[in-house]
Amino acid sequence: MPEAVTYRVEPGSRVDGPLCRLALDVAALSGWRRRGLAFLLGVAAAAAMSPVDMTPLLVVAFSGLLWLDDGSEGAGASFRLGWVFGFGYFLAGLYWIAAALFVDIARFWWLVPFAVAGLPAGFAIYIGLALFASALVARRLHLSPAARTFAFAIAWTAAEWVRGRAFTGLPWNLVGYTWSGGFPGATAVLQSVAVVGIYGLGYVTVLAASLPALLGTPRPTPSPLLRHWAPVMMAGLLILLPATGGTIRLLATPPVLTDTWLRLVQPSIPQSLKWQPGAAQTNFRRLLDLSVAPSRDRLNAILWPEAAAPFLLDRDRAARDAVAAIAPKGGYVITGALRANPPPAPIERLWNSIEAVDDRGEIVATYDKAHLVPFGEYVPFRTLLPVDKITAGTIDLSAGPGPRTIDLPGLPPFAPLVCYEAIFPSAVIDESDRPAWMLNVTNDAWYGRSSGPYQHFAAARTRAVEEGLPLVRVANNGISGVVDPVGRVLARTNLDAIGYLDRALPAALAPTPYARIGDWMLLGLLLLGAIPVGLRWR
């Protein structure tokens, strides 16, 4: 019999009830059944994310994973089990990345297996290490099942935090994002990120989803019914208390709009036509036509998505004049655009930028994307890797200096964010020069009608709650929208819709605790969670 199963059935305990029997049956699984169930549980955990938004599946996924781990013979077996779970989780959660390769499948067909299976296999190592660490600590310290649950939640959160930073970082599909989608009441729970951040909310979520696994622990004889159901009550409180506080915060913070009006233009230009020379004028004309449509309100700025301008505006006076012709009087067209080194020198460097063009055709502000996508915008170790980047052109993009605030006359100061820069917690604004709102321009047309754009919108929405700042998101094919500083979506477009939104900018809140101290609150949470581990709490 596996080591951990005998550990759970302690002297004086009894295997009573269907959950106890189910837990022992799950722990006793071996071979392909064991690996297959771990994989399916990982897929179930991914279904808690947008657009499926089945948050309760996390209880099934994490409790089931801990039951399976009860049958692991040693920490090495726990690592393998966690890796299989993680492979299912990331395969279901990141499958859409491969869709970008089909834009030019003739060149990049050979990369499809790496995108579909290679990335999930690599990221699954983090989950394998989390289960390995918690299992090792549980065995070395002879932890009770309850204390082991806390150790697992701490290890999972630490692995997510490292994943968000290591090797340029990819904090995608963090468990806390299950509260940034459409599950009923999720927005109330999401308010807690204003204090503990997305990693802190993830820790609470993993702990709450894992505690019900203790219902499968054989009970001492005699065992009061209240004690038996205590883990479920604790799990409920871990969600109910943040939800109650979040509801109060939402009720106390009604939407407040400023007199700044913005037009969000969503052209929905297919990625296959995005950089075709013959389609450049047609694409440009669609942007201009959507921008010039009559508005009931006086617009302060027209916003275009990432790389919307098909020309190098800094080198094309005619294109800038066309933009100036549709710019609001005394206002701006703020667009994503590629920017080159200054003329008349030949093009040697390029940046993925945001440029603000005024009604005279002058570029009055520029922001260069700082967090570039490996293999998408540049090739790391280019001298060693003989591959092309996926985006158009042969020149690797250069990185900008990092978060900054753009302050233009007649417009509240804003923090520009290009594409997935919006998914990095505590790295979206210049805290020394706090803006009044965040502008995220992006192009998710690479990923078609997959879950990618929904997940991207959910992650960007979370930054608004963390920072206490409204977020305006302008996407080529969607999802574009306006989010107030407590995460309410005041307006949004459908995926692949062609059109525009005219909306007033919401007012900002005072800096949140998370905006002030960042992930230090997370450290406090983890230290608090380590108390049951240190005491070997039962």
Active-site residue numbers?
306, 369, 419
**What is the distance, to the nearest Å, from the Cα of residue 518 to the centroid of all Cα atoms in its chain?**
17
User: Residue 343: which residues within 8 A CB-CB, separation 6 or more?
Assistant: 314, 315
On whether the CB atoms of residues 124 and 83 are closer than 8 A, the answer is yes
To 10 degrees, what angle do helices 280-292 and 317-326 make?
20
Q: Provide the β-strand partners of residue 140.
A: none
* Sign of the C-alpha dihedral computed for residues 28, 33, 39 and 45 taken in this order: negative
Nearest to 466 by CA among 264, 201, 231: 201
On whether the CB atoms of residues 483 and 470 are closer than 8 A, the answer is yes
- Dig out the tokens for 146 from the structure: 């309850």
Characterize 451-476 residue by residue with b for buried, 16 or more Cβ atoms within 10 angstroms of its Cβ, and e for exposed. bbbbbbbbbbbbbbbbbbbbbbbbbb
- Dig out the tokens for 375 from the structure: 């293999």
Nearest to 473 by CA among 510, 436, 418, 433: 418
User: Which segments of 423-526 are extended strands (E)?
Assistant: 437-442, 471-475, 481-483, 489-492, 499-506
Element (H, E) at 258: strand 257-266
Q: Provide the β-strand partners of residue 513.
A: none
Characterize 142-154 residue by residue with b for buried, 16 or more Cβ atoms within 10 angstroms of its Cβ, and e for exposed. ebbbbbbbbbbbb
CA distance 369 to 189: 31
User: Residue 154: which residues within 8 A CB-CB, separation 6 or more?
Assistant: 134, 203, 526, 529, 530, 533
SS3 annotation, 480-491:
CEEECCCCCEEE
- Which ranges of 70-192 would DSSP assign to H, the alpha helix? 75-94, 105-108, 112-113, 119-140, 145-163, 186-190
On whether the CB atoms of residues 269 and 286 are closer than 8 A, the answer is yes
On whether the CB atoms of residues 476 and 305 are closer than 8 A, the answer is yes
